[in-house]
Structure 1
Amino acid sequence: MTTTKPKRRRGLRITVAVAIVLVGLLVATDFVFAAIGEYQVSKKMRAELTLADDPSVTIHGFPFVLQAMRGDYEDIEVGASGIPIGTMRDLQVSAHLYDVKVPLSELVSGSAHSVVIDRVEGSVRISAADVNRAFNSTEVGQVLNISNLTIVPTPADTLVDPGAEPGAQAGEKPTPTPNQTTTGVKMAFFVNFAGKQVKVSMYGVLTLNGTTIQVQPTKLELADGVASLKLPEILQQQVTGALSKQLDLGKALPFTVTPTRVTVENNVFIVTGRATNVQLGSGRSGLG
């Protein structure tokens, strides 16, 4: 009996070791096949979206092989940066493609022609540098030479001076209606005025209308935050004119995604949207 127990323990250890090795091999194999699939999807996305470089692609869900055998992928994440649209040069675009149906043979060969996506959720990020560039694309923006622009979110109650009449500074009701297509924003930047660099704070409203973001300044002050230090009237007019800008995203959101929401984070505007029942190869999903 003393010799039987050690043999059983040794046999159990061998069985466990073999199982661990087999699981490791299966995971490694699944990883390799997933990498191949991601490479093929990346090439397809580059052609479909007319990108200069291959986008990043991550096929989520495990095991990949099981999804591949079904020809149905739970979630494929696609990302690309440095996308130029109009005066903007560095848009960051990302999308989650849910319930993607493509035959395994077409995926492996890279000849996928019948890709159907149940749902797409996409977003585009506009950096402060691109917003700064857009403001300086106007004639008055070039005169002011707006620089070092920073962006932060701000609540609606900071957008106007206490006691100010609605629309007194912007010509319209300044506070945004609480919904997903409007949001408050605060920007700080330098401008040239009377031969000096002046730092200005602008409070305003972003409004999403289709694929266009409208910037509406509602309050301007010197950037030291003292409310009594107002800008000279001529400078207020110039800054308001330069910042009352429409940023047209065109087709920055791919896969026929319809923009539905605009938000603000530190130094970035974010537009998000969704699309359903998308078929690649239709010629309507690219950027441009």
Structure 2
Amino acid sequence: MRKLIIGLACLIGLVVVVDFGAAAYSEYQVSRALREGGSLTADPEVTIHGFPFLTQAWKGKYDDVEVRARQVPNEMIGDVTIEATLNGVSVPASAIVEGSVREVPVDHLEGRMMIDPTDLGKFLGIPDLQVSAPPADRSDGTGGSGGSGSPTTGGIVFTGTVPVGPLQESVSVQADLVLRGEQLMIVATDFYFGPEGQEDFSVPTPLRQGVLDRFTKTIDPQSLPFGVIPTDVYAQGSQIVIEGSGDDLIINLDNLQTKV
């Protein structure tokens, strides 16, 4: 009985190792295809969730696949991070093994583009730009513009050094993030003197609008992963996140240059 139990344990361990190895190989093949199709500078991270993997591979249907590509060049903003969550991905196992994956049907896709403060600061001409969210208006941390670390819309705070008359001063402003079609509009609405702001400096009234304009800009239409149309924008931590989703899509891995 003891030998039987040990034998079964070894067999189960072998199956697990084989399953994870097959998943890793498939993730590598998909990553290479995404890099080539999207003209990326590095292989993106690809994770195929679900165990056992071999059962999904046998069916040619994968429940949950995550893709993350860092430092993706963007003509306007600089480098951005791209993420996508794909549900119901149909790819024959033979195509993965042969490295011939070209078209991928997907039941549902959620795509995100994340902009870091450094790159956004370069775009705005404010090199030391910092991004944060004001604290929630409610004491329970669930209301207002969102508690610390929570996604927030319309309540983002920018802090950076800009010209105020003849001086260079660090100021904080509250801004709205607005999607107009595929354009992202950053609109500074007022100065901010809360915990994250510069409380010890006030801008003279005649100069206020000019300073607010330094933090106001429109980013031209942005395509999310695999051509998904943006539907939402918010701040999470220190990043600005633009996201959207789509159903029943066909992803052409040979034509990603204009879509990733």
Q: TM-score normalised to the size of structure 2?
A: 0.85
1:154 and 2:125 equivalent?
A: no
Match of residue 117 from structure 2: 128
1:211 and 2:200 equivalent?
A: no
SS in 2 for 1:132: helix
Match of residue 216 from structure 2: 244
* Displacement of 1:195: 5.2
Give the length in aligned residue pairs: 245
Match of residue 245 from structure 2: 274
* Displacement of 1:83: 1.4
- Are 1:155 and 1:184, in contact at CA under 8 Å, matched by a contact in 2? no
Instruction: Pick from 101, 119, 126 the counterpart of residue 108 of structure 2.
Output: 119
- Are 2:91 and 2:101, in contact at CA under 8 Å, matched by a contact in 1? yes
SS in 2 for 1:280: strand
Return the letter of the residue paired with 2:156. Answer: V
Q: TM-score normalised to the size of structure 1?
A: 0.77
Alignment partners' CA distance in 1, 2:250 and 2:183: 25
Cα deviation, 1:107-156, whole Å, max 9, x if unaligned, reads: 110112342111111111111111111111xxxxxxxxx33211112379
- Work out the percentage of aligned pairs sharing the same amino acid: 33
- Are 2:164 and 2:203, in contact at CA under 8 Å, matched by a contact in 1? no
Greater CA drift, 48-57 or 229-238: 229-238
Distance change in 2, residues 1:204/1:93 (3 Å): same
Alignment partners' CA distance in 2, 1:61 and 1:188: 42
SS in 1 for 2:13: helix
Instruction: Pick from 218, 225, 241 the counterpart of residue 254 of structure 1.
Output: 225
- Are 1:255 and 1:284, in contact at CA under 8 Å, matched by a contact in 2? no
Larger Rg: 1
Distance change in 2, residues 1:263/1:221 (3 Å): closer
Match of residue 84 from structure 2: 95
- Segments of 5+ residues of structure 2 without an aligned counterpart are 138-144, 146-150
1:71 and 2:60 equivalent?
A: yes
* Displacement of 1:271: 1.1
Alignment partners' CA distance in 2, 1:212 and 1:156: 27
* Displacement of 1:198: 1.1
Distance change in 2, residues 1:284/1:250 (3 Å): farther
* Displacement of 1:283: 6.3
Alignment partners' CA distance in 1, 2:114 and 2:122: 15
- Are 1:85 and 1:249, in contact at CA under 8 Å, matched by a contact in 2? no
SS in 1 for 2:230: strand
Distance change in 2, residues 1:277/1:73 (3 Å): same
- Segments of 5+ residues of structure 1 without an aligned counterpart are 1-11, 137-145, 158-175
Match of residue 38 from structure 2: 49
1:199 and 2:170 equivalent?
A: yes
- Are 1:75 and 1:97, in contact at CA under 8 Å, matched by a contact in 2? yes
